[in-house]
Amino acid sequence: MEDLLALFDGSLDADSAFFGRTVQVDGDTGAVVALHNALEAANLSMTDLLGLPLIDQGFRMLQGVIRRSRQAEMAR
């Protein structure tokens, strides 16, 4: 779920997720590519996706924490 939301708001790179097998592609690949590019262009935030500004703030904080911990892991 976290990955799906991160894909929608563009904070997770979809191609990397595909290489790492987090994302599976079925059916019409052209439609999948078009959807990906449309989502990227739309600049959606969590507010747009869930309609709740508080969730947006909470999610951004959570994302920040996850990102920092990942960076800390990589820097090790």
Partner 1 sequence: MLRSAIEAGADSVYCGLRDETNARNFPGLNFSQAELGESVVFAHGRGAKVLVAINTFARAGATDAWRRAVDVAAAAGADAIIAADLGVLSYARDQFPDLRLHLSVQAAANSADAIAFYARAYGVKRVVLPRVLSAQEIAALIGDVDVEIEAFVFGGLCVMAEGRCALSSYATGRSPNLSGVCSPPEAVNFDRSGGALTPRLAGLAIDRFNPGEIAGYPTLCKGRFTTPESTGYLFEEPVSLNAMGLLKSLRTAGVRAVKVEGRQRGKAYVARVAAAFRGAIDALDRGEDTERFEKLLTDLAEGGRETAGAYRKTWR
Q: Which is nearer to partner 1, 29 or 51 (CB)?
A: 29
Q: Which is nearer to partner 1, 27 or 51 (CB)?
A: 27
Report which of 8, 44, 73 is spatially closest to residue 17, judged by C-alpha positions.
8
Interface pick for partner 1 out of 40, 57, 61, 62 (rule CB under 8 A): 40
Q: Which is nearer to partner 1, 3 or 54 (CB)?
A: 3
- Tokens representing 76 are 């090790």
Torsional class of 10: left (φ above 0), alpha (ψ -120 to 50), beta (otherwise): left
The answer to whether the CB of 65 falls within 8 A of the CB of 58 is no
| 35 contributes a contact to partner 1 by CB under 8 A | yes
| 2 contributes a contact to partner 1 by CB under 8 A | no
